[in-house]
Structure 1
Amino acid sequence: MAKSSVYLQLSQFLQKHESNNLTMKFEEIETIIHRNLPPSARKYQAWWGNCYNQKSRHCQAWLEYGWVQESLDIANEIVTFRRNKDAV
């Protein structure tokens, strides 16, 4: 991930997190990245997808550190990440 990525702080946060599951409100993520999520994050489930074959900076923020998006509640603005046990 590029060091200048908007989502670098999220990557670092996940890297340091000790449990295998993490549920976060969108607001919490915005606090971590020091900016608002794009409107598409609040509108489209696909934005939160685990984009294994794409280079989207936001999903690489969790995939590169061994996390996957496990569940999403757009209406309540909550996302749950899970450590991917297959990741190194």
Structure 2
Amino acid sequence: MSMYDPLRDKLIANASASIKMSFAEIEALIGRSLPNSAYDYDAWWANEDPATTNHSHSRAWTVAGYAAEPNRTQRTVTFRRTS
């Protein structure tokens, strides 16, 4: 079980083409703070192939059929449906 499973489950349950969440909302959902790299680097939000990535956070949204589009200045991320 990944700490990002609650995020995956929320995205799977979402019927919209996109969902915008604040970093704080994601932290409340997963029950802990995002790592500093999520705040500092767009690369943390990369949309990696879920079959090959070792990054459980990326797998959470890609398995759910979404791509992440971060706005680190506003501390938000928009997840857009890809499939």
TM-score, normalisation: structure 2? 0.91
1:47-82 CA-to-partner distances (Å, cap 9, x unmatched) read: 00101242210000000111111x221011011011
Q: Secondary structure at the match of 1:61?
A: helix
Q: How many residues align?
A: 81
Structure 2 residue 55 is the aligned partner of structure 1 residue 77:
no
Structure 1 residue aligned with 2:56: 57
- Segments of 5+ residues of structure 2 without an aligned counterpart are none
CA distance in 2 between partners of 1:51 and 1:38 (Å):
18
Structure 1 residue aligned with 2:29: 32
Structure 1 residue aligned with 2:45: 48
1:29-57 CA-to-partner distances (Å, cap 9, x unmatched) read: 00110110001000000000101242210
Output the amino acid matched with 2:38: A
Output the amino acid matched with 1:84: T
Q: Secondary structure at the match of 2:20?
A: strand
CA distance in 2 between partners of 1:55 and 1:39 (Å):
18
Root mean square deviation of aligned Cα:
1.0
Q: 1:13 aligns with which of 1, 5, 10?
A: 10
Q: Percent identity?
A: 37
- Segments of 5+ residues of structure 1 without an aligned counterpart are none
